Amino acid sequence: MSRPARRLHSIVAALLISVLSVSSVTAQDVAAKRDTSRGDAMIARYFASRTAELSQRCLADVQTLDDWNAKKDEWRSQLFEMLALDPLPEKTPLKAETTGTTDHEDFTVERVQFQSRPGLYVTGNLYVPKKRDEKLPAILYVCGHGRVKKGDVSFGNKAHYQHHGGWFARNGYVCLTIDTLQLGEIEGIHHGTYNHNRWWWNSRGYTSAGVEAWNCIRALDYLQSRDEVDGERLGVTGRSGGGAYSWWIAALDERIKAAVPVAGITSLQNHVVDGCVEGHCDCMFMVNTYRWDYAQVAALVAPRPLLISNTDKDRIFPLDGVVDVYSKVRRIYELHGKLDNVGLQITEGPHKDTQELRVHAFHWFNKFLKGEDPLIETAAVKFFEPEQLRVFERLPGDELNTTIDESFVPTAKLPKADEVSLTDESLAAYRQMLREKCFRSWPADAPDDQSLNIRRQFDAEHDGVHLSAFSITPESDIELTLYLLRPVEKTPGQLRMSVLNVQDEAGWTSFLKTIRAGFADNFRDELATDVDAEAWQRVTGMLRTQPWGMAWLFPRGIGPTAWDQSERKQTQHRRRFMLLGQTQDSMRVWDVRAGIRALRQIEDGRETPVWLQSNGTMAGVSLYAALFEGSKVERLDLYNLPPSHHNGPTFLNVLRFTDVPLTVSQVLPTSRVVLYETDAAAWSLPQNVAGRNNELKGQFQIR
């Protein structure tokens, strides 16, 4: 590196460090007290607008039966993928065992377990009628969240829902009632993003819904292996969480001949805009890569018999959303000429397992699996103590249920340095893969002058530097502010380069401390913080002597557009993004792309070289922005860049295909990368890629 270049770097790096320093007033303190009404209104508009787009397009291009037949197989494949079941796991031996039986005068309950894959145990109760002259139809009953636990012993939610299995067995059905991962005898986790902060589930493309779907597929395999069961007459039902799992298996597996999901589905509008997502754990949702509304899941059951069942006062599956799903699905059945095969049952009541809901479900199965319509004379009642339904006296030592999120979805194996291709074609393919699997929700076209709608907010001068603030619109409903400091005597078009600092909430606090030392009047509406006069002097000293610009961008939800900072609302907003087929971080990458383009075009349109500087998760966001913007970014200075997406930033599915070190390598042909990092071993891949290629020498450095 030349002496001027080293000096340039040291000054800019020192400036970034000063801006990133954390003040005595923490970002959390500021955020907790500030007015977030602007950000709250913005994100509410955004969620409503994007939800409406997906709702309006749901099944809209299916106008004929030929349309449906042309699309259904592709859509089913997409659903398998969004449940992390593509490729489908190997169907390994079930190793099914009956660990004991419990007797009733009309039926026997077998306490059964099988492994849906090695180490992933499914515990259940198989209700078998004593009176049978032929193979019987069978019901897979998938439980909702019904904890039955005494001390340290979990008896599984099958004990809570036992009355359903008892009714089916007394009325001529074999019924397999299976525990779910959460609240089963072996207690796994459904709540990865809901309250465990496991955002890497999104990056891995993992959802607990996928495990439940797979367990249901293997449960059908088990039922078909039983001599008592007519494998061509299988039905599924369950309520709440079990209602959702009923949807997964009925949509995925055509062995299901009749389905009655109860209180298990509603519209995207209800979840995202009306807030129902806040009452649901992750098992209710696929990773929405292909940006579906939920009627598209339901439609995949057509034309097989389907009864959509719900109560009218269910707060987490509201009536309007249930009716919306039914209306869209009914049209698909109409195209098949099978309106008699779809029904909507709405009874009075809250989110509860009511008798009225059960009776109509029993009637539906009698009609479509037995060809009968008898009077329902027996009630569904509980006969057994939880201990009588327990499968394991001692839990298996080789169980993977409690850690299945760490292995259910395979992650990409990074290549060796000599296997990394950096041709134009391979780089384009890499971007295209990310675009389709991780960033599918980005607008179709890259930000341009017209779409960015760059508008000047204010100008001010102090201490020989000029401050400009510009509003930009990365996409409709999102408006951000780009701040630019430059020497008074230089216009933006005369700058030799612009350093774009992409900041998180702590960076916003530090920025306010610094900028208020010179421009307090322009930030009166922000919560007061201490003033860092020393940092301001470093900024002005540099800018008075160098033809550089220093710019700051705070992506959506940060700084001027921060929304409700409570932990719960932050979590649930991140989950809303996923339901829309995106993540908070993926859309912040889009914001940075917009900021880069805006900075290069401000005022006279001269394309000024841009450096990016960021810290932590925002360093990862900036990295991917640079990947897609290519030569528009001359250099990246990244502090504390996470070495894996397991730690951030979070993008849908990204760990299935790549990880941060490979992306750093892919950036090197167009942008120099300097990492400020203590663990050099984590970055051996880009280090070796750069070392093997003469054209990349000097393009990668660790400091």
**CATH code, domain with 512:** 3.40.50
Whether pLDDT at 347 is above 90? yes
Angle between helices 241-252 and 65-82 (to 10 degrees): 120
Contact, 251 vs 550, CB < 8 A? no
69-85 mean pLDDT: 98
In 3D space, the residue among 318, 327, 229 whose CA is nearest the CA of residue 275 turns out to be: 318
* Residue 372 CB partners (closer than 8 Å, separation 6+): 366
The pLDDT tens digits for 384-426 are: 999 999 999 999 999 999 999 999 999 999 999 999 999 999 9
Q: Find the range with the poorest average confidence among 28-32, 200-204, 242-246, 557-561.
A: 28-32
Residue 35's pLDDT is 86
445-449 mean pLDDT: 82
Residue 129's pLDDT is 98
What are residue 122's DSSP bridge partners? Answer: 114
Domain boundary among 406, 431, 459: 406
Whether pLDDT at 2 is above 50? no
Residue 400 sits in the same domain as residue 451: no
563-592 mean pLDDT: 97
Residue 29 sits in the same domain as residue 87: no
Residue 342 sits in the same domain as residue 464: no
Contact, 206 vs 405, CB < 8 A? yes
Contacts of 70-79 with CB under 8 Å at 24 or more apart are 72/300, 75/296, 75/300, 76/251, 76/252, 76/300, 78/289, 78/290, 78/292, 79/251, 79/252, 79/286, 79/297, 79/300
Q: Which domain holds residue 502?
A: 3-33+447-646+662-678
501-524 mean pLDDT: 93
688 falls within a domain: no
654-663 mean pLDDT: 98
Residue 452 sits in the same domain as residue 387: no
355 falls within a domain: yes
The pLDDT tens digits for 541-571 are: 988 888 889 999 999 999 999 999 999 999 9
How many CB atoms within 10 Å of residue 674? 19
Residue 11's pLDDT is 52
Whether pLDDT at 615 is above 70? yes
Domain boundary among 406, 435, 463: 406
Residue 143 sits in the same domain as residue 248: yes
Residue 402 sits in the same domain as residue 452: no
* Residue 376 CB partners (closer than 8 Å, separation 6+): 359, 362, 363
Residue 527's pLDDT is 67
Residue 32's pLDDT is 47
How far from the centroid of its chain's Cα atoms is residue 40's Cα? 21
Q: Find the range with the poorest average confidence among 176-185, 430-439, 526-535, 662-671.
A: 526-535
413 falls within a domain: no
Residue 390 sits in the same domain as residue 497: no
Residue 451, amino acid:
S
99 falls within a domain: yes
Residue 602's pLDDT is 86
How many domains does the structure of the chain reveal? Answer: 2
298-314 mean pLDDT: 98
Whether pLDDT at 158 is above 50? yes
Residue 474 sits in the same domain as residue 581: yes
Whether pLDDT at 606 is above 80? no
245-272 mean pLDDT: 98
Token couple for 568:
């719960």
Residue 367 sits in the same domain as residue 475: no
Whether pLDDT at 20 is above 60? no
Domain boundary among 343, 375, 406: 406
141-163 mean pLDDT: 96
Q: Average pLDDT of the chain?
A: 93
561-585 mean pLDDT: 97
Which DSSP string do the residues of 458-500 spell out, in sequence order? EEEEETTEEEEEEEEEEETTEEEEEEEEEETT--GGG-SEEEE
Residue 544's pLDDT is 85
653 falls within a domain: no
Residue 94 sits in the same domain as residue 154: yes
Task: Name the band, by pLDDT with cuts 50, 70 and 90, for residue 603.
Answer: low
Whether pLDDT at 30 is above 60? no
627 falls within a domain: yes
In 3D space, the residue among 504, 533, 507 whose CA is nearest the CA of residue 520 turns out to be: 533
Assign residue 219 the CATH number of its domain: 3.40.50.1820
Pairing label, strands 548-553, 610-615: unpaired
Token couple for 175:
């019924």
The pLDDT tens digits for 269-298 are: 999 999 999 999 999 999 999 999 999 999
Residue 589 sits in the same domain as residue 460: yes
Q: Left, alpha or beta for 630 (phi > 0: left; psi -120 to 50: alpha)? A: left
How many CB atoms within 10 Å of residue 216? 26
Residue 445's pLDDT is 87
288 falls within a domain: yes
Residue 198 sits in the same domain as residue 289: yes
62 falls within a domain: no
